[in-house]
Structures are given as structure tokens and as C-alpha cells.
């Protein structure tokens, strides 16, 4: 590493140290005032004000979302994006630690911009609403936010110290069966039971599930099942969540769902509609050169990351849709032990613990140093894009 890069890293560490109390204030303020998907008005305003005060040009309303924003410092390439998540879970608050993600992305953007000379590329702080449901990053990616970006960086608090994120592809489908109403006693032969068809689909999918590949599954619930017990249901509907290890495998799983639903309709005399009910989260494609660089920077704080445990998947995220377009990282850094789990009250409490504060500052520093390396090292950018291109071609 050159002396110039080392000097930048020292300046970044000093910047993060100087901003430590402010970053923790942001993290705890967000935690105390949780807002759900697409309603993160106060969170977006707080983060935007911090960036505006530091000289970033803040553009709200990105991709038509009132609580999204892009804050920019610089105009030229290279360009790096720090991603800020800040939506909370209804009833659980920041039980996924998004208050820490937002504060770390904010701190990293501020630190790298302060540590680098003017003209050293562009730093973006991208406010990304609705990761827990709604897919703010999906909409931003489709709107072209990342078209001129060389890398996208974030970290996620968790129960593992993992350098890479095993995040699957996922989407939801609404399946509706249309039958014919009748009185179950007075004229039972006239009825075509839509609920019976929906129940049969659950049975067929249960059998299908026993032969699906690793990480693929379909989980469904009944959302409409009739209106009265003395009426054969003319309409029944289920909502089905699909997950798969890759986006290609998810497409195959969706096709299988449609085939099963059509077969059940033919067998029961109903008609069926199958409609996608949510945006699609693509699987996450890790940038190994960049995640290795982040891990090396994080280790200076005494946190050593390891590869993910084989066969363990940690859900899905809209960062997958960003990672299909640009090199991206999404490491996990533990704020509680492996016996715990996110999306729990215990994890929400951990997101404002002393350990969380230490992780926030360590991750902020590592993100900022990685971002500075991307802006200042053409060979690192080339390595990241070289690793990204074949993965994108292979996985899509």
C-alpha cells in the first residue's frame, strides 16, 4: 500500500474518531423513532440535514419515493456509493439494525469526503427506503441511480462476523382460484369450491418442496377463503413467498408455481390467476476484491471476518438488485452472539448496546477506507469489475 493511501486511511480514522459522538447520536435517534417502509420521513430528513451541512448536494424524492434521496459530493468518475437503510419493522422497531446501517453509511460518506482532496472522484450517500418490504434499492436501480457508480458499499449488523452475505433471491405471488358459489346442502353439486382448490395447491406445493434444491422454498398463507360456512366459496386466494439461491433458480421456481396452480385448476374445475405481488429481490453477488479489502480494514479494529458457513442463508435483500449492476459488498458484523437472531426484540435492544457502538465505529472506518481505496486505486476498480462481469453473465 502506498504512503499516500496510508495517509488517507489515517485521516479517515481521525475523522471517524472526531465524529463518533455525532454518529452514535444519529444511530440512537433513529432507533428511538422507528418508521416503517416508505414512511421514513424523519429519518430521511435527519440524514439529509447531516449531509447538507457537510456540503453534499442532497436531492430528495429519488425514483419517485418521498423518503429516498441521493446526496452527492463531486461530479467525475470514479464514483462510489454508500448505501443507507433506515426503515424499521412494524411492532419491532430497529430489530434489523438499520439505525446502524444508516449511521455507518453517513459517517463513511462524511469521512472519506473530508479525508480526500477535491477532484478525487464522487462520493454518493444513497438513502434507500423500504428494504424490509417494498424494495427501495430495486426502484433506485431501475431509475438509473447506480448507472455511473463504480461500487456500492454497506454493512449489516448481525449475529455472525461474515465477509460475504449469503442472500437469496425472493418474490411473492398472489394466486386466486375462481369457482362457483352454491349452498352446500341445498344444491351441493352446483358448487365449484375455490377454497378446496387452494388447499389442494398447498398439498401439491408441499410435495414439490421435498425435491427442491438447497435454498429454494415456497411458503404460503391463505388471504381469502370464503365469506360464510353455508356457502361454497366462489373465490379463494393465497399469497406465496418464493426464495431461491439465485435469480435464475427463482425464475424456475415461479414457473413451477404456475404449473402447479394450472394443474390444480384443471383438476378441480376452477380457473386460476397467478400474479406477482411484490418487486423481485435478486440474489446478492458479492465483490470478492472489495469484500476482502473491507475485511482487511475492519481487522484493524480487532474484528476478524470469515466466509459464510456453507448451507446457511440469511434471507434476502434489495441490495441484490444493486449487486447485479455494480460491484457491491454487504458484510455482516455481529452485535450479538450466534445464539440470537435478528427480527427479535432482543436484537432491537442489541442495536443500541455498547457492542453496537463499537461495531458502528469500526464498520464506518472500514467502509470509508474501502471507499477511498476504490476512488484512489484504479487496479482495485479493475479487479472488482473483472470479478463482477463473469458472475453477472453466469448468474443471470
pLDDT, tens only, 103-126:
999 999 999 999 997 778 999 999
Domain boundary among 258, 276, 294: 276
Q: Is residue 392 scored above 60 in pLDDT?
A: no
Domain that holds residue 350: 3-167+284-395
What would the pLDDT profile of 311-363 be if each residue is shown by its tens digit? Answer: 888 899 999 999 999 999 999 999 999 888 999 999 999 999 999 999 999 99
Both 230 and 117 in one domain: the answer is: no
State yes or no: pLDDT of 391 exceeds 50.
no
Query: How many distinct structural domains can be found in the chain?
Result: 2
CA distances from 271 to 28, 138, 167, 180, 195 (A): 52, 32, 35, 10, 12
- What's 303's domain CATH number? 3.40.630.10
Which grid coordinates are listed for 243? Answer: 426464495
Same domain for 348 and 312, yes or no, is yes
Scanning the chain, the segments in alpha helix (DSSP H) are: 3-32, 41-53, 98-115, 136-142, 194-209, 247-268, 288-299, 319-323, 345-350, 354-376, 378-395
Place 218 in a pLDDT band, splitting at 50, 70 and 90: very high
For residues 57 and 236, give the distance between their C-alpha atoms in angstroms, rounded to a whole number: 50
Place of cell 424490509: 132
Q: Which residues pair with 169 in a beta bridge?
A: 244
Q: Do residues 63 and 143 touch, judged by C-beta distance below 8 A?
A: yes
Q: What is the pLDDT of residue 2?
A: 60
125 and 99 within one domain: yes
In a shared domain, residues 153 and 216: no
With helix as H, strand as E and coil as C, how does 42-81 read? HHHHHHHHHHHHCCCEEEECHHHCCCCEEEEECCCCCEEE
Of the candidates 103, 172, 135, 140, the one whose C-alpha atom is nearest the C-alpha of residue 37 is 135
Residue 174 shares a structural domain with residue 59: no
- Choose the final residue of a domain: 254, 276, 298: 276
Co-location of 104 and 214 in the same domain: no
Rounded Cα distance, 170 and 247, in Å: 8
Residues 115 and 95 in one domain: yes
d(CA 389, CA 168): 19
Last residue of a domain, one of 260, 276, 292: 276
Q: 137 near 368, Cβ under 8 Å?
A: no
Task: Tell whether 158 and 211 lie within a shared domain.
Answer: no
Based on the fold, state whether residues 295 and 385 are members of the same structural domain: yes
Q: Can you name the residues that pair with 220 across neighbouring β-strands?
A: 240
Taking all residues of the chain, what is their mean pLDDT, rounded to a whole number? 95
User: How many angstroms separate the most distant Cα atoms in the chain?
Assistant: 88
219: domain CATH number is: 3.30.70.360
- Residues 307 and 363 placed together within one structural domain of the fold: yes
- The DSSP code for 116 is S
pLDDT in tens, 272-321: 999 999 999 999 999 999 999 999 999 999 999 999 998 888 899 999 99
**Contact predicate 106/47, CB 8 Å:** yes
Residues 147 and 204 in one domain: no
pLDDT for residue 3 is more than 70: no
**Are 14 and 150 within one domain?**
yes
| pLDDT surpassing 90 at residue 178 | yes
Instruction: Please tell me the predicted confidence (pLDDT) of residue 186.
Output: 82
Amino acid at each position: 500500500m502506498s504512503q499516500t493511501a496510508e495517509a488517507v486511511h489515517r485521516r479517515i480514522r481521525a475523522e471517524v474518531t472526531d465524529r463518533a459522538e455525532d454518529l452514535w447520536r444519529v444511530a440512537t435517534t433513529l432507533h428511538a423513532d422507528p418508521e416503517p417502509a416508505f414512511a421514513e420521513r424523519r429519518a430521511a430528513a435527519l440524514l439529509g440535514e447531516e449531509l447538507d451541512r457537510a456540503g453534499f448536494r442532497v436531492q430528495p424524492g429519488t425514483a419517485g419515493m418521498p423518503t429516498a434521496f441521493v446526496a452527492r459530493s463531486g461530479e467525475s468518475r470514479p464514483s462510489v456509493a454508500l448505501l443507507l437503510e433506515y426503515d424499521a419493522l412494524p411492532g419491532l422497531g430497529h430489530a434489523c439494525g438499520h439505525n446502524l446501517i444508516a449511521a455507518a453509511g453517513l459517517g463513511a460518506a462524511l469521512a472519506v469526503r473530508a479525508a480526500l482532496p477535491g477532484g478525487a472522484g464522487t462520493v454518493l450517500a444513497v438513502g434507500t427506503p423500504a428494504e424490509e418490504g417494498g424494495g427501495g434499492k430495486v426502484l433506485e436501480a431501475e431509475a438509473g441511480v447506480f448507472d455511473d457508480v463504480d461500487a456500492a458499499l454497506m454493512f449489516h449488523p448481525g449475529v455472525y462476523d461474515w465477509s460475504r452475505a449469503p442472500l437469496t433471491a425472493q418474490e411473492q405471488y398472489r394466486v386466486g382460484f375462481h369457482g362457483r358459489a352454491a349452498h352446500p346442502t341445498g344444491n351441493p353439486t352446483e358448487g365449484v369450491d375455490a377454497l378446496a382448490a387452494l388447499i389442494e395447491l398447498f398439498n401439491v406445493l408441499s410435495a414439490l418442496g421435498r425435491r427442491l434444491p438447497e435454498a429454494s422454498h415456497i411458503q404460503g398463507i391463505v388471504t381469502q377463503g370464503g365469506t360464510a360456512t353455508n356457502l361454497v366459496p366462489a373465490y379463494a386466494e393465497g399469497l406465496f413467498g418464493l426464495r431461491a439461491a439465485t435469480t435464475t433458480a427463482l425464475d424456475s421456481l415461479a414457473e413451477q408455481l404456475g404449473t402447479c396452480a394450472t394443474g390444480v385448476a384443471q383438476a378441480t374445475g376452477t380457473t386460476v390467476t397467478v400474479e406477482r405481488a411484490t418487486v423481485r429481490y435478486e440474489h446478492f453477488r458479492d465483490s470478492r476484491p472489495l469484500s476482502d479489502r473491507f475485511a482487511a480494514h475492519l481487522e484493524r479494529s480487532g474484528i476478524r471476518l470469515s466466509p459464510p458457513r456453507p448451507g446457511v442463508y440469511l434471507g434476502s435483500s434489495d441490495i441484490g438488485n444493486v449487486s447485479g449492476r455494480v460491484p457491491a459488498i454487504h458484510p455482516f458484523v455481529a452485535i450479538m452472539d450466534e445464539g440470537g437472531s435478528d427480527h427479535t426484540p432482543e436484537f432491537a435492544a442489541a442495536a443500541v448496546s455498547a457492542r453496537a457502538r463499537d461495531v458502528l465505529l469500526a464498520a464506518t472506518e472500514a467502509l470509508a477506507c474501502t471507499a477511498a481505496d476504490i476512488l484512489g486505486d484504479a487496479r482495485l476498480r479493475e479487479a472488482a469489475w473483472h470479478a463482477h462481469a463473469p458472475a453477472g453473465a453466469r448468474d443471470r
